[in-house]
């Protein structure tokens, strides 16, 4: 009888980076949650947290699963793409935009993905999700050491040492989002938010250079900062605003005087994959949604 992967075990936010007693800490990477199944009949399934089939979009992961994993293996991890010295989430988005065929193969050569594996759920026909985290972790480390598993598979670090866990928080410049805390004695529980997630948050000042949506009710804000030459540089955008925040900000935005420094500019990195989105400088009236500053 064919086995199936359990639904993903989930996280819940915690306010402290301190490692709870009886728990292990793992780095939380800036990537896509992904579960991987390699069946004995050479079928491979790579799926997202929501259950979307991503197998065709990441052919290098599927090929490695067939070449390296024993039959009837199930893993849980995080898909990431390295660019230079840090993780590039926008490259993952672009990889998913090229879901099949030659486009997926070309993207795999340009922006190869890795699967940072933090759990093993099935191995050699045995469902080990009911086992404790500590026991599953031992199996996972043995799988990496004795198989051995190599790139594009990477073993996610795990520690029970509070100082080591805190030291990982210094990796944020490379794309670490925070820490995950997992109780050593706990089994893998599908759809249960039992893992803790501490997310690193940093604050800084920025200028609202443009918006998506309308100036009266912006959907997102495009942010900028002045460089050493006094030029306003785009630095990123916010998450979608809720209605209360949008209404409040809509009353605070004021028109730009003179020519806007971002007029005619297209903002590509990190944007949704849908084409034709337009951004507008803060001004009274105006409409459209977007990607280009008008």
Give residue-wise pLDDT tens across range 22-47.
999 999 999 999 999 999 999 999 99
pLDDT top residue among 274 and 235: 235
Band the pLDDT of 158: cuts 50, 70, 90. very high
The rounded distance, in Å, linking the Cα atoms of 58 and 97 is: 11
Which helix (H) or strand (E) segment is 114 a member of? Answer: strand 113-123
Residue 197 among the catalytic residues: no
Residue 268 has pLDDT above 60, yes or no: no
Check 28, 182, 197, 199 and give the catalytic one.
28
Band the pLDDT of 251: cuts 50, 70, 90. confident
Band the pLDDT of 267: cuts 50, 70, 90. low
Tokens describing residue 148: 């051995």
Q: What pLDDT score was predicted for residue 275? A: 36
Q: What pLDDT score was predicted for residue 234? A: 83
Residue ranges of alpha helices (H) inside 147-196 are 162-168
The rounded distance, in Å, linking the Cα atoms of 128 and 136 is: 7
Q: What pLDDT score was predicted for residue 5? A: 95
Residue 163 has pLDDT above 60, yes or no: yes
Rounded to the nearest integer, the mean pLDDT of the chain is 87
**% of the chain exceeding 90 in pLDDT:** 59
Q: Which residue, among 17, 18, 21, has the nearest Cα to 200 in the 3D structure? A: 17
pTM: 0.75
pLDDT per position as a tens digit, 188-245 = 999 999 999 999 977 778 888 888 888 888 888 888 888 889 888 887 778 788 888 8
Q: What pLDDT score was predicted for residue 270? A: 43
The rounded distance, in Å, linking the Cα atoms of 194 and 43 is: 31
Average pLDDT estimate for 263-291: 45
Q: Which residue, among 41, 70, 79, has the nearest Cα to 128 in the 3D structure? A: 70
Band the pLDDT of 181: cuts 50, 70, 90. very high
pLDDT per position as a tens digit, 60-88 = 999 999 999 999 999 999 999 998 888 99
């Amino acid at each position: 009888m064919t086995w199936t992967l359990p639904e993903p075990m989930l996280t819940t936010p915690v306010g402290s980076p301190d490692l709870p007693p009886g728990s292990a800490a793992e780095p939380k990477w800036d990537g896509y949650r992904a579960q991987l199944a390699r069946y004995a009949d050479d079928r491979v399934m790579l799926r997202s947290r929501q259950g979307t089939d991503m197998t065709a979009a990441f052919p290098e992961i599927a090929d490695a699963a067939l070449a390296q994993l024993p039959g009837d293996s199930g893993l849980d991890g995080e898909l990431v793409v390295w660019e230079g010295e840090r993780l590039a989430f926008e490259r993952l988005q672009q990889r998913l935009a090229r879901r099949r065929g030659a486009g997926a193969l070309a993207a795999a050569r340009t922006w190869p993905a890795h699967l940072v594996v933090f759990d093993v759920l099935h191995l050699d026909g045995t469902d080990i999700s009911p086992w404790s985290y500590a026991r599953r972790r031992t199996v996972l480390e043995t799988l990496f050491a004795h198989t051995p598993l190599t790139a594009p598979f990477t073993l996610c670090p795990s520690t029970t040492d509070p100082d080591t866990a805190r030291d990982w928080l210094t990796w944020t410049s490379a794309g670490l989002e925070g820490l995950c805390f997992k109780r050593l004695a706990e089994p893998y529980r599908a759809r249960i938010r039992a893992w803790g997630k501490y997310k690193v948050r940093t604050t800084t000042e920025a200028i609202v250079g443009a918006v998506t949506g309308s100036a009266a009710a912006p959907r997102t804000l495009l942010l900028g900062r002045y460089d050493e030459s006094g030029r306003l540089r785009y630095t990123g955008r916010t998450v979608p605003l809720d209605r209360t925040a949008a209404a409040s900000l809509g009353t605070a935005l004021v028109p730009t005087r003179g020519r806007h420094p971002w007029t005619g500019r297209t903002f590509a990195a990190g944007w949704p994959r849908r084409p034709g989105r337009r951004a507008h400088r803060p001004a009274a009236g105006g409409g459209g949604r977007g990607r280009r500053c008008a």
